[in-house]
Amino acid sequence: MSTYSASKTVALKQSAEEGAALSGRPPSLAVSLPSGGTGVFASLAWVGFGISCLWWPDIGDWPRTHQLAAAALVIAGAIFLASVAGNRLGRFNAGLQRRAPWLLASALFLTLWEVATAKFAWLPLPFFPPPQSIIEVYTDDLPKLLDSILASVKLQLGGYLIGATVGFLTGVSIGWSRSVGYWVHPVLRFIGPLPATAWLPIAFFTFPSSWSASTFLIALATGFPVTVLTWSGVASVSNAYYDVARTLGAKPFFLVRKVAIPAALPHVFVGLFMGLGSSFAVLVVAEMIGVKAGLGWYLQWAQGWAAYANMYAALIVMSLLCSGAITLLFRTRDRLLIWQKGVVKW
């Protein structure tokens, strides 16, 4: 199953382009073949991948080759059965049909990867390890990897929540109150554009622990875009909305809570999205430099030992986590902003 997650990651990276291509151009691969056809081809490609693992002898010592081959054949069987079962599987079948070209492509990619590394060594070691070595990381180095994931998630979540909350409240205050804006705006202009990583040296000796320093930096990286976009959202609310609410008896607090904030929410979510992106960058750098835990640290450690398979394995996990976080954010937005027309689908 781990190989499958690897192919899923590859799929995720390009899913945006794929979505556009599939919906934009009518005669795509998915449509031109009869129902279930692409699925059968995909399952054949996975059989091919499994055989490619077994056909040639390994160059080098890769203990997970047979397991990888077995997993590939199981996946091939599952795809085949699901394709043949067709409409009896209902929505699952529709999803499979849509993803079949991607399943096919990822099997081809994995086969190429396998052949180019473990079988003929066209790509130099240790920089390009074969797929089975990444499986090996997930099976043999799992405890350390899980610890790192937990540390990263904890640090990121704490910093992001603090940054987003402070940024949101600051943004609403400067957007609403002229006097708060007068005092906060210059500070924001002076400090905000500074990359949060530039604070690293100062943060690590002024804060009591590397953990609190990193939380501060992540909060800073999140807070700036959230503040600016919340502020611009609140500032751009049409006066007509305030006029309507005021003639209906609204007091200032009601105007902030029920007019300014809901009207600004689309902007706020852009800020939260941007903040998420920049906080990921700070998280990894902070973990590499100061905090002796987390996926960033794991990457650094793997590189120190020239354990490139561990690096790729950690990168894949990191990509899944970041992508998952963004998906979660977008789901939340879609739920809260259901009244908007035509929001971007992630």
Partner 1 sequence: MVAHALAEAVAYPAVGASLDVERISHAFDIDGNALPVLEDVSFSVKPGEFIALLGPSGCGKSTLLRLVAGLGAPRSGVLREDGDPVTGPFPSRVVVFQDPTLFPWRTVWNNVALGLEAQGILESQRQRVDAALDLVGLSQFRNAYPHLLSGGMAQRVALARALVNDPKILILDEPLGKLDSLTRITMQAEIVALWQRKGFTTLLVTHDVEEALFLANRVIVFSNRPARIKADIAVDRPYPRHRGDPKLAELRRNILGLLGLDATW
Chain residues binding partner 1 by CB under 8 A are: 238, 240-241, 243-251, 254, 258-259, 262-263, 265, 337-341
Residue 16's contacts (CB-CB under 8 Å, 6 or more residues apart) are none
Residue whose CB is less far from partner 1, 13 or 258? 258
**3-state DSSP call for residue 36?**
coil
Angle at 55 between CA 50 and CA 57, to 5 degrees: 115
Question: Pick from 277, 280, 278, 300: which is nearest to 288 by CA?
Answer: 300
φ and ψ of 89, to 5 deg: -90, 0
Residue whose CB is less far from partner 1, 233 or 296? 233
Residue whose CB is less far from partner 1, 338 or 344? 338
Q: Least Å distance between CB 254 and partner 1?
A: 5
Q: Least Å distance between CB 250 and partner 1?
A: 4
Residue whose CB is less far from partner 1, 1 or 338? 338
Residue whose CB is less far from partner 1, 109 or 242? 242
Residue 65: count other Cβ atoms within 10 Å of its Cβ: 22
- Report how far residue 221's alpha carbon sits from residue 325's, in angstroms, rounded to the nearest whole number: 16
Residue whose CB is less far from partner 1, 35 or 238? 238
Q: Least Å distance between CB 177 and partner 1?
A: 20
Q: What is the CA radius of gyration of the chain?
A: 25
Q: Least Å distance between CB 239 and partner 1?
A: 10
Q: Least Å distance between CB 337 and partner 1?
A: 8
Q: Least Å distance between CB 172 and partner 1?
A: 16
Q: Least Å distance between CB 267 and partner 1?
A: 13
Judge whether 312 and 129 are in contact, CB under 8 Å.
yes
Residue found by looking up tokens 């992508």 in the block: 323
Residue 150's contacts (CB-CB under 8 Å, 6 or more residues apart) are none
Q: Least Å distance between CB 240 and partner 1?
A: 5
Judge whether 117 and 111 are in contact, CB under 8 Å.
no
Judge whether 171 and 231 are in contact, CB under 8 Å.
yes
Residue whose CB is less far from partner 1, 266 or 277? 266
Q: Least Å distance between CB 268 and partner 1?
A: 12
Residue whose CB is less far from partner 1, 19 or 252? 252
φ and ψ of 125, to 5 deg: -90, 155
Residue 39's contacts (CB-CB under 8 Å, 6 or more residues apart) are 79, 80, 82, 83, 96, 97, 100, 103
Question: Pick from 198, 168, 224, 189: which is nearest to 285 by CA?
Answer: 198
Residue whose CB is less far from partner 1, 23 or 247? 247
- Report how far residue 86's alpha carbon sits from residue 97's, in angstroms, rounded to the nearest whole number: 9
Residues constituting the chain: 346
